[in-house]
Amino acid sequence: MLRGLTTTNYIVDDLRAAIDWYTELLGVEPYFVREVDGAPAYVEFRIGDFQHELGFIERRFAPPHRTGSDTGATLTYWAVDDVEATYERLLSLGATTHEGITERGPGFVTASVVDPFGNVLAVMYNQHYLDIVDSVKGA
């Protein structure tokens, strides 16, 4: 069911400052920027040997129940082949909805639940993940 880690998202109060800081740290510009009203709302960097995705969400766009903290928050997404089936299975095992099935763009669908222990478990169908798997298989 869970294929591997796909994307880790950090929730930040000042996305522009986070972009600058992580661009300096990582030595690369974000490859993806989603804007709302002309300002960045979400960005992603691709990092590491397998070009994993490291994302940053402006706190006002964070999923519910993750917006009122003085400290940072993270959402780690697990790659799955079928978000809807996985989401339904998680609910049937006693998890509760954190954020329902959401299409983020072509090839990117997410959902998240709160497990019975209070942890957020996020899943994603991610075309980038599948492209990397295919490139490794072909190498």
| Owning domain of residue 95 | 4-138
> Each residue's pLDDT tens digit in the chain (139 positions)?
778 888 888 888 889 999 998 999 889 999 999 999 999 999 999 988 788 899 999 988 887 654 444 445 677 888 899 999 999 999 999 999 999 999 988 889 999 988 886 778 899 998 888 888 888 888 7
pLDDT for 66: 46
User: What is the count of structural domains for the chain?
Assistant: 1
pLDDT for 72: 55
pTM to 2 decimal places: 0.69
Q: What is the CATH number of the domain that holds 91?
A: 3.10.180.10
pLDDT for 88: 95
Closest by alpha carbon to 111, among 131, 96, 128?
A: 96
Catalogue the long-range contacts made by 90-99 (C-beta closer than 8 Å, 24 or more residues apart): 90/115, 90/121, 90/123, 95/121, 98/63, 98/64, 98/65, 98/122, 99/63, 99/64
What's phi and psi for 6, nearest 5 deg?
-120, -50
pLDDT for 64: 66
